[in-house]
Amino acid sequence: MNQTDLSAIIDVTEGIIQLLSKYESLTDNMISADLEVIQQVLLDRQDVVNQVEVLKKERDNLVEKQAIHMQRLLNLIIRYENTDAERLSDELLALKRKADEMKMIWQRVVKKEDSVRNTVQADMDKIKANIENSNKDKKLINYINTASGATDKGKLLDSST
């Protein structure tokens, strides 16, 4: 394997790490945000995912150019598979460290996703409670209108609010 290809694979992997870090930062912004902010951040995160996919394809193309045995080894490394680090060259070890860093970032994001889900669920519960309260208010107004005889006096309460 030539050094230029391996350096390119490492550089592309570093680009993926940068994007995953941005994705993690966006996820952090979602943890305590309201639904409107979360919706926008979800769109921003999708943009990051699309960029990651482009870099992954670029990296995969570089890997496919290598000899079969090197392809297998590179794929093991970038897919977080177990490799014998003692038998790796310094350059492959650098790639393994980058892959490990990617894995750590992704594991942190997965944990943060639980907090985001909890935030969204809490907001949804609040919205549901507000809707239920709104429906109760309408029923109460309708009841008052019919029970108090306000209909006879032409003084209906507005039940549309």
Report the phi/psi class of residue 157: left, alpha or beta, with left for phi > 0 and alpha for psi in -120 to 50: beta
Is 154 domain-assigned? no
Banded pLDDT at 150 (limits 50, 70, 90): very low
Q: Model pTM?
A: 0.75
The range of the structural domain enclosing residue 48 comes to 3-116
Contacts of residue 14, defined as CB under 8 A and 6 or more positions apart, other chains included, come to 98
**Counting every residue, how long is the chain?**
161
> In angstroms, what CA-CA distances link 55 with 21, 98, 109, 128, 133?
14, 14, 19, 41, 49
Low-confidence winner among 11-25, 52-66, 95-109, 140-154 (lowest mean pLDDT): 140-154
Is 124 domain-assigned? no
CATH of the domain at 77: 1.20.58
Task: Please state the domain count of the chain.
Answer: 1
Q: What is the DSSP letter of 66?
A: S
Kindly report, residue by residue over 39-92, the tens digit of the pLDDT: 899 999 999 999 999 999 999 999 999 999 999 999 999 998 877 777 889 999
Q: What percentage of the chain exceeds 70 in pLDDT?
A: 84
Is 130 domain-assigned? no
Is 132 domain-assigned? no
